[in-house]
Structure 1
Amino acid sequence: MKKNMTRMVAVVSLMTFTASCNKGDDMPPAQSRTITIENVLDSKPLVESGSFKGSGIPPVILPGQSVSFSFYAAKNQRLTFATMYGWSNDLFFAPENPGIQLYDGSGNPVTGDVSAQIKLWDNGTRINQAPGAAVMHPGTAEASVKNVKEVNGMDDYGHTYLAASQLMQVVLNYEGNSKFTLTIKNSSGGTVNETPFSPGVWAVSYVAGGNLLLPEPVYSAGKLSMNGLTNIAEMGDITPLSNYLTQQTGIFTPLSPVLVVVYEGAVNPFYKVGESDRGEGLKELAQKGNADILAAALKTKPGVRNVYVLKDAANTVLLPKINGAMGGKVSQQLSLLPGDRIALATMYGFSNDWFFATTGNDIDGAQNGNVSASVGLFDNGTAISQYPGAGITQANLAGTPLAESKNIQAVPNPNAYNTLPSVAGIVEVTLQ
């Protein structure tokens, strides 16, 4: 009997050991992988720029004539422009830097006559003759080029001028949803400084961290004229400066701290195109860049194995490339089992509620290398959209989003406001 009991214990022990070994064989060890998300956008400092001209041939703006153009702007952004005082050697009209104030201290759009913000400037490259139709162009060059200087009643050669606001009437009209229209009227007719205005250029700079990225895109008082302004001031030729401003105009956006989710299954755990926001925190990520609420909700969901919120060590947000400097980058080591998938999301920072997220079946944990093709750009449908980077209600531009209720959809490109780079030209994701 004792021998039989000993045999039974041995058999049971052997079975237990075998079962344990078989269970281990069925569970391959987790693999350690590193995911990296980088803002690779080659950013530009100007939101918008453009030109204006008269309707005649040549396309000057004669006394009594007007010209208008429209643009978008957020709080703290300014509008600047330049146009030649036509019957001069090298004088031009422009707002005093950093440009025309578009919102008051309470954040309300400025409307009406803003002519007082316009000044007359001497480009410093030609000797000034008495202003009038007899001025010869281009005239005599200065023996030594001077800095750009305001003409405040009298130039360096004793010629007198009325205030710019008596020669040019500038009126702002607010169209709604961050859109303005500026009208420039030549009101110099019948004055001692009657003059046509040349075609002109205009620009609006992005604001980041409360500062204009390019606060003096057209001229700098007390410095030499540059970037083609001389062509406008001397000849009314906008081509060089217009080309420069175009090169400085494009997309600028940070990316919010990045949500990374490791899960098992085949369905993204926090959103689906065509459905509305689930109220679990994606709205807060898409509108304000706050991923913490969604991260906390996901940690309670079945099938979700790990959740991370990755913040850039230097700036929290991932800045784009600025003046050649590399953009922000975050990395996270992941422990992945066979069949695991990876989802991520980050806010298009200068939007109302756009977010980048993995699409389709997200990222297979077994993939290797650049997986940026798995990322798309989506509209969360919870806030009214405005011009990206120039919206008065965009949270990251000191605004309060205006609620709407639509299903999540891909952001078209071109969209209603501009044309964006490819998603891979903004967000780069690698898995190694």
Structure 2
Amino acid sequence: MKANLMLRFLALSTVFGLVSCSDDDDSSQGPLSGNFVVTIENVFESKEYFDNGTTGFIMPGDSESFSFDAGEGHYLSFATMLVQSNDLFYGFDEMGIPLYDENGNALTGDITAMVSLWDAGTEVNEEPGVGPNQAPRQTGPDTGADENETVKRITEVNDGFAYPNVSDVIKVTLAYDGGTEFTATIENVSGSASITTPLAPGVWVVNGAEQTPLFTVDNTASEGLERIAEDGDNSILDADLTLESGLVSPFAPGAYEINNAVFVIGESATEALEALAEDGNPSGFSNIFNIPVGASGPGPIFPGESYSFEFTASEGDVLSFATMLVQSNDWFIGTNDIELFNNGIPTTGDITNRLELFDAGTEVDEYAGAGNNQPPRQNGADTGAEENATVGVEETAGAHVPLIADMVRVTITAN
């Protein structure tokens, strides 16, 4: 009986691999191996606009300046209340003004001619500088009669009142500080105007073409714009714009290697890495990922999209990979040292905390998301100034660049 049980145990053990039928030891079977799938997901939070900020209370004779970065294709919009009114505000056209011309030249100088006086259409107009429901005289915010109209230039509103010329109240100038930086200055020049008035706290935003971040002509004003135009309260619109402004970037097709490094920290980038890091072109590598999951052809991945690649590896093998942060000159996210087995157990799960943001050292950095030599805005591949540095961790990306975990998520599964 015992002999029969032992034979049955040995048979079952052989089937499930519990014992070996060979006289050799376990090492004769070779190292463990398996199939792995790596998924790289773009987890940037989608944003409508690039940057935003506020302006303060500007008395006659005073001015306020604010600086920002912007690239070709970016526009500037702003709104500030004419305090001696019920719901009038100064601003550019609904889409703002382009900050570069078609030749890439930055807009500079006195741009007051681009400013209009707008009626928010939210409160019935009273005689400017006299009305009891205007900010200097009202008993509290939002006290005037509701108008239930839409946003229009004051020149298109027949309310029977006379308003000072725009240039008699406000002066707006724009300076180009070099690179991608601009400084806008709003000056209150109403001291000698027919109506002397403060300019109330307002907002500004850097937006894209065809966007109307503050208002749309002939449409109802938002609550945030109403509060600016009636009471000089910019808190609501500032909060809304802050929530919808920030850096958003695709990730470009990338490359991976098993037991070879895609990049080497402290050394000059190879031609293949330079092309990957500057232009999102991984063609110089043997193993690439370039087709978004669910797509029919190569392309970048935008928020909510992902890449996936599969390979076979053995115990002792190490994964290296890199993918370009597209809104940069030569930055990439990646790693060189992901061990694919740990004490015989395949590596699985979220490895995002093993990643870093690297600078390839091949092209001079510009402000991320605004540089005119970055892929979304450059005229062609390899157009930026050469940096002649080495590959290293990027440590001065800027406060507007999110943490890695807020840009990308990378997971490994073992089959």
Tell me the TM-score normalised to structure 1 length: 0.80
Matched, 1:402 2:402: no
1:249, CA displacement in angstroms?
2.1
Over the aligned positions, Cα root-mean-square deviation in angstroms equals 2.5
Long gaps (5+) in structure 1: 1-20, 54-59, 300-306, 321-326
Distance 1:348 1:227, change over 3 A: farther
CA distance in structure 2 between the partners assigned to 1:165 and 1:358 by the alignment:
56
**1:218 pairs with 214, 221, 224, which one?**
214
Q: Which residue of 2 is the match for residue 292 of structure 1?
A: 283
Q: Which residue of 2 is the match for residue 374 of structure 1?
A: 354
**1:362 pairs with 305, 317, 338, which one?**
338
Deviates more, 1:348-357 or 1:184-193: 184-193
1:384, CA displacement in angstroms?
1.7
Long gaps (5+) in structure 2: 1-23
CA distance in structure 2 between the partners assigned to 1:419 and 1:191 by the alignment:
41
CA distance in structure 2 between the partners assigned to 1:146 and 1:110 by the alignment:
34
Whether the 8 Å contact between 1:352 and 1:394 is mirrored in structure 2 is yes
CA distance in structure 1 between the partners assigned to 2:39 and 2:403 by the alignment:
19
SS where residue 68 of structure 1 aligns? strand
Amino acid aligned to 1:329: S
For residues 161-310 of structure 1, the aligned pairs below 5 Å read 161-205=163-207, 207=208, 215-261=211-257, 263-264=258-259, 268-277=260-269, 279-293=270-284, 295=285, 299=286, 307-310=287-290
Whether the 8 Å contact between 1:87 and 1:135 is mirrored in structure 2 is no
Matched, 1:424 2:405: yes
For residues 33-72 of structure 1, the aligned pairs below 5 Å read 33-53=36-56, 60-72=57-69
CA distance in structure 2 between the partners assigned to 1:26 and 1:93 by the alignment:
78
CA distance in structure 2 between the partners assigned to 1:174 and 1:29 by the alignment:
61
Matched, 1:145 2:148: yes
1:143, CA displacement in angstroms?
4.7
Whether the 8 Å contact between 2:289 and 2:307 is mirrored in structure 1 is no
Tell me the TM-score normalised to structure 2 length: 0.83
Q: Which residue of 2 is the match for residue 318 of structure 1?
A: 301
1:142, CA displacement in angstroms?
4.3
SS where residue 171 of structure 1 aligns? strand
CA distance in structure 1 between the partners assigned to 2:400 and 2:176 by the alignment:
24
For residues 23-102 of structure 1, the aligned pairs below 5 Å read 25-27=28-30, 30-53=33-56, 60-102=57-99
Amino acid aligned to 1:99: G
- CA deviation profile, 1:176-200 (whole Å, cap 9, x unmatched): 1100000111223322243221121
Aligned residues: percent identity? 34
Amino acid aligned to 1:101: P
- CA deviation profile, 1:107-131 (whole Å, cap 9, x unmatched): 0111111112111111111111111
1:421, CA displacement in angstroms?
2.9
Q: Which residue of 1 is the match for residue 310 of structure 2?
A: 333
Whether the 8 Å contact between 2:359 and 2:393 is mirrored in structure 1 is yes
SS where residue 50 of structure 2 aligns? strand
Distance 1:144 1:45, change over 3 A: same
CA distance in structure 1 between the partners assigned to 2:309 and 2:124 by the alignment:
63
Distance 1:199 1:43, change over 3 A: same
Whether the 8 Å contact between 2:86 and 2:126 is mirrored in structure 1 is yes
